[in-house]
Amino acid sequence: MRVAYEDRFHELEPLLAHVEKPSRYIDHEWGAIRKDDADYRCCLVYPDVYEVGLPNQGLAILYQCANAVPGVACERAYVPWIDMADAMRAAGVPLLSLEGAAPLASFDLVGFQIPHEMAATNYLEALDLAGIPLHADERGEGDPIVIGGGPSVFNPEPLAAFFDAFLIGEGEEAIAEICREHRRLRDAGASRLEVLRGLARLRGVYVPSLYRLSHEGPCTPSGYAVPRVGEDVPPVVYKRVVEDFGGTDALTQSVVPFAQLVHDRLSVEVLRGCARGCRFCQAGITYRPVRERTPDQIVSAVSRGLSATGYDEVSLTSLSTTDHSCCRAILRRLNRRLEDTGISVSIPSQRLDSFGVDMALEVAGEKKGGLTFAPEAGSQRMRDIINKNVTEEDLDRAARAAYLEGWNRMKLYFMMGLPGETDDDVVAIANLADHVLELGREVVSKARRGSLSVSISVSVFIPKPHTPFQWCAQLDYEDVKRRQKLLLESVRNRAVRVHCHDASTSLVEAVLSRMGREAAGLIEGAWRRGQRFDAWTEQFNLDNWIAAGEELGLDLYGIAHEPFDLDALLPWDHVSPGSSKGFMQREYRRALAGETTPDCTRTSCTGCGVCPTLGVRNVLVGERV
């Protein structure tokens, strides 16, 4: 039976003096919510340490929405760092919530944020620390319902063995519905199976145990999920989407931390979605349609948030903030509002054109550190393949404008191993970086030339579900390392610094992106070999993942490097962000032909299928710049 609410911080407190950053584990932060009299309790868990998880906007949104439901109390938990986790196991202390220091196993519902594939082993670490059975089919009537949701839930199958349910899509409205339905069924004496069937009737909720694997017809080796005989569940679970995004509260951040965070600032989400259509980008599909907040909402949220938290910096967040149709007006209003306060405004992404530089100038003031652009590919041929829809002339104009306005440092993001890439395209990355640096030396004064620098960050292409490149293989592991070496050798200027993402981590990420339910054994095997915090470079060990795969007869290199047939049924086809497979196939063929597709918010509908399938539309509050 689930244990009653109990504050057990007294068990944790003696351990604090012996671990790194004890402020990760103490409660009573300013702005935290306590509802001790609620009769339904859920706990939201971020699968990383406190300073990484607290700034997460998704978790902050759900925390506020769940606590707004009468009779429902929502608390938070984070995965303890290795020193604390080991100390807790040795002392017999379970994973506790932050607000009430209550064991996770005592909650009605435990919800995990699923931010990226490399968090996989941390879900098991948290469940094990909490004393909750790892496998969903081993949980009894007294165990919490374990549900996952977040940006990387659009292929839930690798985690299906560990979760009772998944929320596909946006959670502002769904979290309240889930809590209310579970509470109603619990109070009616429903069994665990009846509860899961009830949750599966909610839009956007996928319950893996109500589906079976099929290998009929053309499909990948993983097979695909179909409803079990006799189960009244949809063959395809479509994502939840908040149509009236402007009707939600723009201010979700309420907790002021004790520790310094990775992103230690006030964040306000100014728009959701992106329709630029980069063919490698999962978020560009899964967050559609584009929905903007009004300038009044944004300015008001910033004012309220700064007053409530005391931050001296605010970040206007989205997939592409400078795409907001009223971006200039918003920044100018905020600059007037915050003048002489010492509070700065930042935007995490710039458009790769002169407008992007103009908007960066609006927030930089006298502090012009570095400016970041994402050409993604070095050659125009590759930019057309990935549908980046920018030219080298665009980058030239943006870089020139930035140098003339006083910036000395540029950071450029690229991707390596994209479909169709050759060695010449890799060399083109180096050439483009050298060209941007030389451009700066041409336009600035002699006194500034010595301080100019360009850094390039090069990630490895990961074929992601629900993108036009989902059928593509990842570049061969050894070839990734060879091309990284080629890139380093091709940069001619010492003022150009190169950072390449780890090929080993990218391999495992690709494996977990592409596999089905058989990945559960791989994840558990890696965790039992000591893997946790795999997103942290110093904690990742490819050998443990390879060994876990070999024990199951899985060749990780083969899984990552094998393309899928275009007509194959894929492991994630039963969950959908609303886009049609026909659109993805058409975009894949256009990529092969080097043909680009425009942004539907700037032209006309491009036929992705999201709006008619989900009954939604793009919502712009101004005229596109």
Arithmetic mean of pLDDT over the chain:
94
* Rounded (10°) angle between helices 354-364 and 392-404: 30
pLDDT, mean of residues 225-251: 96
pLDDT, mean of residues 81-90: 97
Q: How many CA atoms lie within 13 A of 548 on its CB side?
A: 22
Model confidence pLDDT, tens digit, residues 361-389: 888 766 677 888 999 999 999 999 999 99
What integer pLDDT is reported at residue 3 of this predicted model? 46
Q: Give the H/E segment covering residue 346.
A: strand 344-346
Tokens representing 370 are: 């570095």
Nearest-CA neighbor of 545 among 555, 535, 480? 555
Structural domains of the chain in order of their starting residue, each with its CATH number: 9-238 (3.40.50.280), 265-518+554-614 (3.80.30.20)
Nearest-CA neighbor of 465 among 515, 414, 522, 415? 515
Q: Phi first, then psi: what are they for 63, rounded to 5°?
A: -60, -45
Torsion sign, CA atoms 471, 286, 74, 12: positive
Residues of the chain above pLDDT 90, percent: 84
Model confidence pLDDT, tens digit, residues 156-198: 999 999 999 999 999 999 999 999 999 999 999 999 999 999 9
* Calpha distance 251→473 (Å, rounded): 40
Model confidence pLDDT, tens digit, residues 516-545: 999 999 999 999 999 999 999 999 999 999
Helices and strands of the chain, counted as H and E runs: 22, 19
Nearest-CA neighbor of 44 among 16, 72, 21, 85? 72
* Calpha distance 244→615 (Å, rounded): 12
